[in-house]
């Protein structure tokens, strides 16, 4: 009889579905070799971008702001809360491997039927006491389903940790870009103020030239229009600087006020950006978002296995000790003492399709996790390629801008000499000054693009937050 029962259990267990192979994963990624040969890139022997790569700017204010944002930003705090929630869920899952001990007690006023099995209490009303101060239930994880659930919870913690790292990486990039934009905006305001002053001087000269009959009124009107346009540009730069300051305050987790000011220092803009000597799949796999996607795959693989094991018999060991009595006069007497111990087997036979639905749902979630990983990896390759291409293009633009600055400087020197020696008037000198300032403004815009491209490249390669938890 016992052998037949065991055979029945094994036969019923055979109804569990098999786990299919699932969606295929991308196992390698390539970066175009031509992008690694740019003069904007210097090779290093580092296997990844070092932690706090923005220290290359040698700006203490920026370092402090990034640190402050990593401590106070609400979005990052939410990510850390999700880590804590996953850790508590893991602690709950780990309790499955331990015995559960309870204490039970009940006192009922019971009216027994005359045809009941309570002998002398049939047809009478009495108090029924059931006190079990120690009740033990231990689940025998024969099929290792509990282990799969615990492993899935461990993977969920790692997923949340890496997602928090990714949030920190993106937050640091946002702080760096906003700070650089604010620094450049302040420099542009100073230069644009010079443009407005010079344009005003030129307008005054053209007014005098018109009044003396040397020029017609048209140059004066055109210069007045240019002056108004330059003043509008200056007002726009002030507005942009205020907006950048408010945005930076929000990233720092602070409420911006009109009188708040964030100190900026002159950035030491690197002429080149050092990258690892080899950019391959192993390096990209250190990105926290890719790590999170990999842990997510592992999590759903364990949950898929756990759903399959729900079709198997569930075996528990139960034990209790306490007192049971009808009537209260001998509640704790030796004759009322009881105990029980033994196995309990629970075998699902018909669940209305619930087990099949759970298994198929976890299969679908596993496939989603794989596709999400593939998409994340392909995006990483695209981001690195875009960043390298942008570095290469902007490097050439900066070199051309430097040549233009040199030529404008030479032209300004010539115009100044011609004016001071009386060879030429003041108007060509003022126009040369304005052209020089416009070239400086254009160069500052290119410098900001270069700084953004450096930040994008560092972020695309994991920014130093990959691997260990920061």
- Assign residue 413 the CATH number of its domain: 1.20.1600.10
Provide the token pair at 448. Answer: 């900001």
pLDDT at 194: 97
**Residue 337 counted as domain residue:** no
**Residue 114 counted as domain residue:** no
* Count of domains forming the chain: 1
pLDDT at 11: 47
Q: Residue 263: give the domain boundaries.
A: 16-100+158-316+353-460
Q: Reading across the β-sheet that carries 337-346, which strands appear in turn?
A: 100-111, 125-140, 314-326, 337-346
Residue 146, judged by CB atoms within 10 A of its CB (0-12, 13-18, 19+), counts as: buried
Q: Is 429 helix (H, G, I), strand (E, B) or coil?
A: helix
**Residue 259 counted as domain residue:** yes
Residue in 152, 137, 135, 134 with CA at minimum distance from that of residue 94: 152
Residue in 62, 280, 14, 35 with CA at minimum distance from that of residue 180: 62
Walk along the chain (470 residues) in steps of 10 and give the mean pLDDT of each run: 52 63 72 64 58 84 92 92 94 89 81 67 71 85 89 93 92 95 95 96 91 89 94 97 93 68 77 77 84 91 90 87 71 73 83 87 92 92 91 92 95 93 90 96 96 93 54
Q: Is 287 helix (H, G, I), strand (E, B) or coil?
A: coil
Q: How far apart are CA 234 and CA 230, in angstroms?
A: 6
**Residue 268 counted as domain residue:** yes
Q: How far apart are CA 176 and CA 169, in angstroms?
A: 11
**Residue 386 counted as domain residue:** yes
DSSP structure string for 227-270: HHHHHHHHHHHHHHHHHHHHHHHHHTT----TT-----------
Burial 399-422 (b: 16+ CB within 10 A, else e): eebeeeeeebeebbeebeebbeee
**Residue 328 counted as domain residue:** no
Q: How far apart are CA 171 and CA 467, in angstroms?
A: 18
Please identify which residue in the block is written with the tokens 């491997």.
97
Q: How far apart are CA 264 and CA 61, in angstroms?
A: 6
Cα-Cα-Cα-Cα dihedral sign, residues 108, 112, 118, 123: positive
**Residue 407 counted as domain residue:** yes
**Residue 335 counted as domain residue:** no
pLDDT at 284: 83
Which phi and psi angles does 319 have, rounded to 5°?
A: -150, 145
Q: How far is CA 382 from the centre of its chain?
A: 18
Number of residues that this document lists for the chain: 470
Residue 152, judged by CB atoms within 10 A of its CB (0-12, 13-18, 19+), counts as: buried
Residue 249, judged by CB atoms within 10 A of its CB (0-12, 13-18, 19+), counts as: middle
Question: Which residues make Cβ contacts (< 8 Å) with residue 178, sequence separation at least 6?
Answer: 244, 247, 248, 251
Q: How far is CA 186 from the centre of its chain?
A: 30
Q: What does pTM read for this prediction?
A: 0.83
């Amino acid at each position: 009889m016992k052998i037949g029962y065991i055979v029945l259990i094994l036969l019923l267990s055979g109804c569990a579905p098999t786990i299919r192979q699932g969606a295929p994963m991308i196992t390698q990624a390539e970066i175009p070799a031509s992008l690694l040969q740019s003069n904007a890139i210097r090779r290093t022997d580092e296997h990844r971008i070092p932690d706090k790569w923005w220290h290359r700017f040698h700006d203490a204010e920026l370092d402090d702001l990034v640190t402050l944002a990593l401590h106070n930003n609400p979005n990052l705090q939410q990510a850390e809360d999700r880590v804590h929630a996953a850790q508590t869920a893991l602690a709950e899952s780990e309790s499955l491997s331990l015995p559960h001990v309870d204490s039970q007690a009940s006192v009922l006023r019971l009216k027994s039927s005359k045809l009941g099995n309570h002998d002398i209490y049939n047809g009478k009303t009495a108090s029924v006491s059931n006190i079990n101060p120690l009740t033990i239930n231990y689940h025998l994880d024969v099929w290792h389903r509990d282990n799969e659930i615990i492993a899935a919870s461990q993977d969920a913690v790692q997923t949340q940790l890496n997602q928090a790292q990714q949030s920190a990486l993106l937050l640091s990039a946002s702080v760096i870009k906003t700070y650089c934009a604010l620094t450049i905006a302040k420099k542009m305001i100073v230069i644009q103020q010079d443009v407005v002053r010079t344009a005003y001087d030129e307008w005054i000269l053209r007014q005098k030239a018109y009044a003396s009959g040397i020029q017609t009124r048209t140059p004066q009107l055109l210069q007045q229009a240019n002056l108004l346009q330059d003043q509008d540009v200056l007002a726009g730069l002030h507005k942009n600087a205020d907006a950048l300051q408010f945005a930076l305050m929000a990233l720092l987790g602070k409420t911006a006020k009109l009188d708040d000011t964030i100190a900026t220092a002159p950035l030491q803009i690197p002429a080149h950006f050092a990258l690892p000597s080899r950019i391959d799949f192993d390096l990209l796999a250190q990105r926290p978002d890719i790590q999170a996607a990999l842990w997510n795959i592992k999590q759903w693989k364990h949950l898929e296995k756990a759903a399959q094991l729900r079709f198997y018999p569930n075996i528990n060991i139960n034990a209790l000790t306490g007192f049971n009595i009808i009537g209260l006069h001998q509640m704790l007497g030796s004759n009322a003492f009881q105990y029980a111990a033994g196995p309990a087997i629970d075998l699902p036979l018909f669940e209305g399709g619930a087990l099949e639905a759970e298994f198929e749902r976890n299969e679908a979630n596993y496939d989603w996790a794989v596709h999400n990983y593939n998409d994340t990896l392909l995006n990483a390759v695209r981001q690195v390629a875009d960043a390298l291409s942008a570095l290469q293009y902007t490097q050439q633009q900066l070199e051309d801008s430097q040549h233009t600055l040199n030529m404008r400087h030479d032209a300004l020197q010539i115009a100044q000499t011609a004016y001071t020696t009386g060879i030429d008037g003041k108007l060509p000198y003022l126009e040369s000054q304005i052209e020089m300032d416009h070239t400086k403004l254009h160069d500052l815009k290119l410098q900001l693009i270069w700084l953004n491209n450096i930040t994008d490249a560092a972020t695309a390669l994991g920014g130093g937050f990959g691997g260990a938890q920061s």
